[in-house]
């Protein structure tokens, strides 16, 4: 499952994230007796991926067998205190970093993954304008934040305009490469939560949020259409092979 959370300044995104994490913490406590739960808290900043639980240490992404691997230590949730610690880490203010929360559910005392959840909190460059920073520093932060978000939006637009280049569109940036397995998995569920503020000062951000959600919906429709087409061709080939024998 993939959950994307976006929104600009004064949109209520931070409150929404805190409420979501509090509710999810109760569910994790209940699931501890049934599953082994591992969590990664990652961040994307300055066009690189970092481990937020390991003092912002940089991480290299490895491609192996068409899978994206993140070779860093995972945090094993063992009790209520571990869940409280992770919840506090997620709630820390990191306004200039795109946060990724990956939670994997394993069978008890086995390495088999039963399910995975990725929560992506998209940062907004609107916070930069309110900071007392020099022009060079402000420009650098804005470009760093916008580059990742724009790359994701371009991937959605590329799928909208060129449906035959679906996977190629999701190989242009760190964020798109990380969420690619969740987007294209046959049993994956994807949701986008765009927090809105209809005030006069934030009409541009509201319009951008709605446009992003619309492009994401079209992108998912394209992917599902191609997925159904592949399944239909696979069934036809299976039937033809059965008829041959």
Instruction: Provide the 8-state DSSP code for 74.
Output: P
Q: Is the pLDDT of residue 173 over 60?
A: yes
Q: Is the pLDDT of residue 234 over 50?
A: yes
Distance CA 169, CA 180 (A): 10
Q: Is the pLDDT of residue 233 over 50?
A: yes
Domain ranges of the chain: 2-244
| Other residues' Cβ atoms within 10 Å of the Cβ of residue 120 | 22
Write out pLDDT tens, residues 22-64.
888 888 888 888 888 888 888 887 667 888 888 778 777 766 6
Q: Which of 57-61, 112-116, 160-164, 190-194 has the least mean pLDDT?
A: 160-164
Per-residue buried b or exposed e for 80-90, using 16+ beta carbons within 10 Å of the residue's own CB:
eebbeebeebb
User: Which range in 60-64, 71-75, 102-106 is most confidently predicted, on average pLDDT?
Assistant: 102-106
Q: What percent of the chain is modeled with pLDDT above 90?
A: 0
Q: Is the pLDDT of residue 200 over 50?
A: no
User: Hey, what are 9's tokens?
Assistant: 């300044």
Q: Which residue has the higher pLDDT, 132 or 34?
A: 34
Q: Which residue has the higher pLDDT, 129 or 207?
A: 207
The mean pLDDT of the chain is 74
Question: pLDDT band at 139, cuts 50/70/90?
Answer: low
CATH 3.40.50.720 for the 2-244 domain, yes or no: no
Are 50 and 178 contacting, i.e. CB atoms less than 8 angstroms apart? no
Q: Is the pLDDT of residue 154 over 80?
A: no
In whole angstroms, how far apart are CA 234 and each of 130, 203, 238, 239? Answer: 54, 47, 6, 9
Are 102 and 118 contacting, i.e. CB atoms less than 8 angstroms apart? yes
Report the pLDDT averaged over residues 68-85. Answer: 80
Are 122 and 5 contacting, i.e. CB atoms less than 8 angstroms apart? yes
pTM of the model: 0.75
| Other residues' Cβ atoms within 10 Å of the Cβ of residue 193 | 17
């Amino acid at each position: 499952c993939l959950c994307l959370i976006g929104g600009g300044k004064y949109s209520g995104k931070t409150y929404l994230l805190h409420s979501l994490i509090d509710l999810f913490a109760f569910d994790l406590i209940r699931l501890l007796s049934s599953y082994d739960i591992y969590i990664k808290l990652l961040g994307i900043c300055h066009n690189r991926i970092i481990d937020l639980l390991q003092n912002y240490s940089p991480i290299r992404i490895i491609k192996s067998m068409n899978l994206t691997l993140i070779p860093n230590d995972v945090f094993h949730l063992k009790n209520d205190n571990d869940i409280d610690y992770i919840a506090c880490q997620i709630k820390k203010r990191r306004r200039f970093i795109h946060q990724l929360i990956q939670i994997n559910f394993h069978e008890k005392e086995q390495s088999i993954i039963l399910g995975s959840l990725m929560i992506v909190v998209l940062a907004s460059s609107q916070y930069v304008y309110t900071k007392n920073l020099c022009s060079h520093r402000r420009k650098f932060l804005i470009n760093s934040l916008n580059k990742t978000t724009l790359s994701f939006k371009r991937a959605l637009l590329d799928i909208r305009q060129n449906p035959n280049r679906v996977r190629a569109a999701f190989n242009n940036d760190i964020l798109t490469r990380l969420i690619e397995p969740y987007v294209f998995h046959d049993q994956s569920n994807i949701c986008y939560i765009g927090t809105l503020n209809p005030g006069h000062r934030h009409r541009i951000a509201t319009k951008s949020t709605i446009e992003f959600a619309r492009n994401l919906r079209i992108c998912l429709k394209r992917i599902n259409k191609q997925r159904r087409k592949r399944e239909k061709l696979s069934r036809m080939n299976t039937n033809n092979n059965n008829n041959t024998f």
